[in-house]
């Protein structure tokens, strides 16, 4: 089936969607999805099946090893389809976004001189700050792309002023896991490229909601955590071919520099996790209503996720806006400029108390700094209390949002 000839997909019913996720069968409302999503049963089954049928080392000649090697290779190829990297770059799989970004920063350090510069957005989760900050000890100059506490954005003009001919990397989140706003990754990338530097975009908080499109955005590096995108506890780092070309990955000395992604994967990655990632194919096919595992299916499946999420996002934002003592932290756009990750503070009630009251009602949300410590400090948010964060994805229901609002409304 050709991708161009397909018509717009129609969303399956919520109950059909939820039937894919065994953990959603109870009345517990998972509204802490920015911390980690639930998985379709097929993902868990695939991991089990892999471990019970081909749990052997890769690269040998016997049947199980050939199959295992195929699973790992196919998972890499599928993530390339997921992020739209086919033909333009490669995907490294690893334990977590944090660990992949440390690998990347260390690889860059081997090519840099003291005095070279890195720009870090203040909105970053620590995963895309710490790996660069540690390079300051080795003479790298760090510059902070400051957040505007009124708009919660990092303005492009401010970035333009920070860029110079020593800038090597600009590290920023596509979406902050606390603020929920989608930044214009393409515009940032174009600006950074004009200055001769590269971008490292953290897509962790974006990836569960919309289709990643590294080809369209032109990014050099893009990373996300698969455990927040209905998959196993792993992460994926996309790099453009030319970005990889200047670097040597840290894997063993005898593994050739050209052996990408393996040169960047320290030892063995989770092979059973790869089986889990591959099993997502059937879930996305179901959502999109297509029978092929191509890019169009990915695009359509995520379009359906957004269609289901958007009204719930609007409902909660409108409710919170109606409460005079509530201050939304982040743009909290009712349209498409935000994802369903919504943070707020209350003038009188501490975040800890609000969340403890919600916990009692079989609803999972959380409070805290969300590992965006530099951002909280810049916004003057108490680190122990942090914000109250509600994070929804497509498998949540309007009823769950109404239940949460009902509980919040007894004390907000």
Ligand X SMILES: Cc1ncc(COP(=O)(O)O)c(C=O)c1O
Residue 84 contacts ligand X per CB under 6 A: no
Residue 276 contacts ligand X per CB under 6 A: no
Nearer to ligand X, 179 or 404 (CB): 179
Give the shortest CB-95-to-ligand X separation in angstroms: 8
Chosen residue from 33, 98, 297, 343 binding ligand X by CB under 6 A: 98
Give the shortest CB-252-to-ligand X separation in angstroms: 24
Chosen residue from 37, 38, 84, 97 binding ligand X by CB under 6 A: 97
Nearer to ligand X, 228 or 394 (CB): 228
Please list, residue by residue across 277-291, b when 16 or more beta carbons sit within 10 angstroms of its beta carbon and e when fewer do.
bbbbbebbbbbbbbe
- The 206-245 site mask, x for binding ligand X (CB under 6 A), equals -------------------x---------x----------
Give the shortest CB-390-to-ligand X separation in angstroms: 15
The kind and range of the H/E element at 121 are: strand 117-121
Residue 343 contacts ligand X per CB under 6 A: no
- For residue 329, the number of C-alpha atoms closer than 13 Å in the C-beta half-sphere is 28
Q: Which residues, 15 to 34, sit near ligand X by CB under 6 A?
A: none
Give the shortest CB-179-to-ligand X separation in angstroms: 10
Chosen residue from 205, 237, 310, 345 binding ligand X by CB under 6 A: 205
Q: CB under 6 A: which stretch of 4-12, 40-48, 198-206, 299-307 binds ligand X?
A: 198-206
Note the helical H segments in 24-177. Answer: 41-53, 63-83, 97-109, 130-133, 156-162
Q: CB under 6 A: which stretch of 38-46, 96-104, 294-302, 307-315 binds ligand X?
A: 96-104
Q: What value does the CA radius of gyration of the chain take, rounded to a whole number of Å?
A: 21
Q: Which residues, 123 to 162, sit near ligand X by CB under 6 A?
A: 125, 127
Nearer to ligand X, 97 or 351 (CB): 97
How many whole angstroms separate alpha carbon 357 and alpha carbon 188? 40
Residue 38 contacts ligand X per CB under 6 A: no
Chosen residue from 204, 260, 332, 408 binding ligand X by CB under 6 A: 204
Q: CB under 6 A: which stretch of 199-207, 243-251, 303-311, 346-354 binds ligand X?
A: 199-207
* Three-state secondary-structure class, residue 285: helix
Token pair of 140, please? Answer: 């790298």
Nearer to ligand X, 9 or 231 (CB): 231
Residue 177 contacts ligand X per CB under 6 A: yes
Residue 179 contacts ligand X per CB under 6 A: no
| Backbone CA torsion sign across 394, 398, 403, 407 | positive
- Closest-CA residue to 318 (of 294, 342, 302, 285): 342
- Looking at 187-318, which runs of residues are DSSP E strands? 198-202, 221-225, 235-240
Nearer to ligand X, 206 or 286 (CB): 206
How many residues form the binding site for ligand X (CB under 6 A)? 12
How many whole angstroms separate alpha carbon 338 and alpha carbon 175? 8
Residue whose entry in the numeric block shows the structure tokens 């239940």: 403
Residue 232 CB burial class (10 angstroms; 0-12, 13-18, ≥19)? buried
Residue 173 contacts ligand X per CB under 6 A: yes
Residue 334 CB burial class (10 angstroms; 0-12, 13-18, ≥19)? middle
- Closest-CA residue to 240 (of 213, 221, 259): 221
- DSSP line for 172-215: EESB-TTT-BBP-HHHHHHHHHHTT-EEEEE-TTTTTTS---HH
List of residues contacting ligand X (CB under 6 A): 96-98, 125, 127, 173, 177, 202, 204-205, 225, 235
């Amino acid at each position: 089936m050709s991708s161009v000839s397909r018509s717009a997909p129609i969303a399956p019913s919520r109950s059909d969607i939820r039937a894919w996720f065994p953990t959603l069968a109870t009345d517990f409302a998972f509204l802490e999805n920015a911390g980690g999503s639930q998985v379709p049963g097929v993902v868990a089954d695939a991991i089990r099946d892999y471990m019970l049928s081909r749990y052997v080392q890769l690269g040998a000649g016997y049947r199980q090893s050939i199959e295992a090697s195929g699973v790992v290779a196919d998972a890499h190829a599928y993530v390339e389809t997921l992020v739209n990297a086919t033909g333009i770059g490669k995907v490294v799989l690893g334990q977590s976004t944090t660990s992949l970004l440390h690998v990347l920063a260390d690889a860059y350090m081997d090519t840099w001189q003291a005095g070279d510069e890195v720009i870090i957005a203040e909105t970053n989760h620590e995963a895309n700050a710490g790996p660069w900050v540690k390079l300051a000890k080795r003479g790298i100059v760090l510059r902070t792309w400051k957040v505007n506490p009124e708009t919660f954005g990092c303005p492009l003009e401010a970035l333009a002023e920070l860029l110079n001919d020593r800038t090597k990397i600009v590290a920023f989140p596509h979406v902050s896991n606390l603020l929920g706003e989608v930044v214009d990754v393409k515009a940032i990338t174009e600006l950074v490229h004009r200055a001769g530097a590269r971008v490292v975009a953290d897509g962790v908080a974006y990836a569960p909601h919309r289709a990643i499109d590294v080809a369209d955005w032109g990014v050099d590096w893009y990373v996300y955590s698969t455990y927040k995108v209905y998959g196993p506890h792993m992460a994926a780092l996309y790099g453009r071919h030319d970005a990889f070309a200047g670097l040597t990955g840290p894997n063993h000395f005898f593994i050739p520099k050209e052996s990408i992604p393996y040169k960047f994967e320290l030892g063995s990655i989770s092979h059973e996790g790869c089986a889990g990632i591959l099993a997502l194919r059937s879930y996305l096919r179901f959502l999109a209503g297509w029978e092929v595992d191509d890019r169009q299916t990915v695009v359509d499946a995520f379009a359906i996720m957004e269609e289901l999420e958007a009204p719930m996002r609007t409902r909660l934002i409108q409710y919170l806006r109606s409460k005079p003592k509530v201050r939304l932290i982040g743009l909290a756009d009712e349209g498409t400029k935000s994802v369903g990750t919504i943070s707020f503070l209350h003038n009188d009630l501490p975040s800890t108390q609000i969340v403890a009251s919600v916990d009692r009602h079989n609803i999972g949300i959380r409070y805290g700094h969300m590992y965006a410590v530099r951002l909280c400090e810049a916004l003057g948010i108490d680190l122990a209390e942090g914000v109250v964060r509600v994070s929804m994805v497509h498998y949540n229901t309007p009823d769950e949002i109404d239940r949460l609002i009902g509980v919040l409304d007894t004390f907000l």
